[in-house]
Structure 1
Amino acid sequence: MNIVIVDDHPLVRQGLTAVITVEGDMNLVGEASTGEEAVRLVAKVNPDVALIDLRLSEISGLEIIEKCKENAPVCKYIILTSSVAREDFQRARELGVDGYVLKEAFPEEVVTAIRLVYRGRKYYDPAMIDCMMSKDESEGHVEQLTPREMEVLVALGEGLCNKDIGKKLFITEYTVKKHVSQVLAKLELADRTQAALYAREKKITA
């Protein structure tokens, strides 16, 4: 897979380069240190995955992603940040970023994030999940869920969209939406992202 790095700190770019270039299935095709360079680079090479710093000196990484999506909508975007602020994560989620990785992550975590995102999954840093769950702990109980709703919750935790959940469980998208709504209501969660975080935090798997 082809990857680009966008960060205004040379040492961060060097560190990421060292992590990526030793992986046989990853190919670093470009680096950028400014928003303008990033937009040009992504439009030119159309990478599979772009690792973008949340806060560059002159622009937000989220603004860069917005601009890049116009020319490279198929590219997957991962935010790199030192921030565990809930507001930053929510803005990234609303924009539809594919991954959110803290800069304190271990190299193997960064590699895992890239591979999962490349395959069409979402990846949120475990430390970010802990932060989100501690700030917004659900009062609902998983025991309230039906067996089918549990299956849907597991799928949400895997980062699957409604269409893929339907295929996995052999049900229609409409039925999936109904189950998702029931899961959110019973667990008193605001949206499917919180449901995914809940499933991962509670280690709810098939």
Structure 2
Amino acid sequence: MKIIIVDDHPLVRRGLASVIAMQSDMQFAGEATNGPEALDVIEETKPDIVLIDLKLADESGLDVIRIARTRGIVSKFILLTSSASREDFLRAEEVLVDGYVLKEALPEELLFAIQLVYKGRKYYDPGLMEEKMRMSAGSPTDELTPKEKEVLIQLGQGACNRVIATRLFISEFTVKKHVSQILAKLQVTDRTQAALCANAIGLTKYEMSYE
């Protein structure tokens, strides 16, 4: 997959480029320091993934993404940020950002995010999950069935499928089906992020006792 980097800090660009260059299935296709440069490079290279800083020198990465969308650019955008406010999240949702990664993330976390986004899924850095939950209208668990909520509580407590099945007196196959539905309804990519959701909204405070 072809990847370009948009960031106004040379050291950040160089570090990200080094991480990408070490991967056999990824190609570092270009870089830019600002919006106009970014749009030129994107249109020229047609990358699969664009890693873009939220706060460029004199502009927002979100404005660059918005312009790219209006031009019909189909690249997927992963936002790099040191932090994100509710306003940032809302604007990011408006321009259909595909992923959010904190700049303090480990290289393997960034690579995991790239792989997920490339496959058409969204990625939210665990450090930003609580803010995402707070900005959601209503409770993110409103669509879950009672049994799915029980399974989510178990996920929040770190239980594996076998343990969940034993505790809730259901089969492991049924647990897998519930987990799949939970991920889809919460719009998260894996059980780790589902567990983070459970903790962020306080579900795990309702602890259960098991013999």
TM-score, normalization by structure 1? 0.70
1:1-206 to structure 2, matched below 5 A, reads 1-71=1-71, 73-133=73-133, 138=139, 142=144, 144=146, 152-157=181-186, 159=188, 201-202=197-198
**Unpaired runs of at least 5, structure 2:** 149-173, 200-211
CA distance, structure 2, for counterparts of residue 76 and residue 154 of structure 1: 21
Match of residue 159 from structure 2: none
User: Could you say what secondary structure the match of 2:111 adopts?
Assistant: helix
Tell me the C-alpha RMSD between the 2 structures: 3.0
Q: CA offsets, 1:144-182, max 9 Å, x none?
A: 36799875433244658xxxxxxxxxxxxxxxxxxxxxx
Which protein is bigger by CA-based radius of gyration? Answer: 2
**Count of residue correspondences:** 168
Assess, with a 3 A threshold, how the Cα gap between structure 1 residues 140 and 114 changes in structure 2: closer, same or farther. Answer: closer
- Are 2:30 and 2:41, in contact at CA under 8 Å, matched by a contact in 1? yes
CA distance, structure 2, for counterparts of residue 153 and residue 34 of structure 1: 39
Aligned-partner residue type, residue 17 of structure 1: A
Deviates more, 1:64-73 or 1:111-120: 64-73
CA distance, structure 2, for counterparts of residue 7 and residue 140 of structure 1: 36
Aligned-partner residue type, residue 110 of structure 1: L
Assess, with a 3 A threshold, how the Cα gap between structure 1 residues 46 and 144 changes in structure 2: closer, same or farther. Answer: same
Aligned-partner residue type, residue 201 of structure 1: C
Q: CA offsets, 1:77-112, max 9 Å, x none?
A: 111111231221221112111001111111111101
**Unpaired runs of at least 5, structure 1:** 161-196
User: Could you say what secondary structure the match of 1:38 adopts?
Assistant: helix
Identity across the alignment (%) = 46
- Are 1:121 and 1:158, in contact at CA under 8 Å, matched by a contact in 2? no
CA distance, structure 2, for counterparts of residue 6 and residue 76 of structure 1: 13
Assess, with a 3 A threshold, how the Cα gap between structure 1 residues 144 and 93 changes in structure 2: closer, same or farther. Answer: same
- Are 2:4 and 2:50, in contact at CA under 8 Å, matched by a contact in 1? yes
CA distance, structure 2, for counterparts of residue 34 and residue 56 of structure 1: 7
Shift, 1:123, TM fit: 0.4
- Are 1:157 and 1:200, in contact at CA under 8 Å, matched by a contact in 2? no
Aligned-partner residue type, residue 10 of structure 1: P
Shift, 1:75, TM fit: 0.7
Assess, with a 3 A threshold, how the Cα gap between structure 1 residues 55 and 144 changes in structure 2: closer, same or farther. Answer: same
Aligned-partner residue type, residue 65 of structure 1: I
Assess, with a 3 A threshold, how the Cα gap between structure 1 residues 138 and 157 changes in structure 2: closer, same or farther. Answer: closer
